[in-house]
Amino acid sequence: MQPGKRFSPSIFKVAGWRTRGALVLEDRVASMLFLVCSTVIAAIGYWYPWYLSTYHASPDDRYGFVIMNALPFYFIGAGIAVVALFRLMRVVAQAQRSAANGVLPLCAVLLALIGFSPLLMVGWRLLSL
């Protein structure tokens, strides 16, 4: 028998590995990463076209074309935010009560709201016209 063979399963459990091939993220961390990604997608999707149209404006209506190209990213960011928020809320509801599990839903809802913000701003603009 090899000297370190019997300790390897316990080492992998401590390190957070389910298999020896790949590192598996915990669901709360993965959901927060997806929420951060959806926030970045929303920020880039909303502010980058505004930046381009402000500095490179022309007499014709090119802003509409820029927004038309950015519109799918509004929905992609919101979709990622919904899936990540649902997964995080499901995991936190099943976990034990602690301070970290109490703060996580608050942060997740704020990040999801930022992920939804481009759609909310465009909707508000369309309704206020």
Q: What is the DSSP letter of 3?
A: T
From the list 30, 112, 119, the residue with the least C-alpha distance to 73 is 119
**pTM metric for this prediction:** 0.67
Q: Residue 7: which pLDDT band, with cuts at 50, 70 and 90?
A: very low
**Are the C-beta atoms of residues 11 and 86 closer than 8 Å to each other?**
no
The structure tokens listed for 23 are 């590192």
Q: What is the DSSP letter of 22?
A: -
Task: Report the half-sphere exposure of 104 (CA within 13 A, side-chain side).
Answer: 24
pLDDT at 129: 79
pLDDT tens-place string over residues 89-118? 888 888 788 887 888 889 999 988 888 888
pLDDT at 38: 86
pLDDT tens-place string over residues 37-85? 888 888 888 887 777 776 666 666 666 677 777 888 888 888 888 888 8
Q: 11 or 63: whose pLDDT is higher?
A: 63
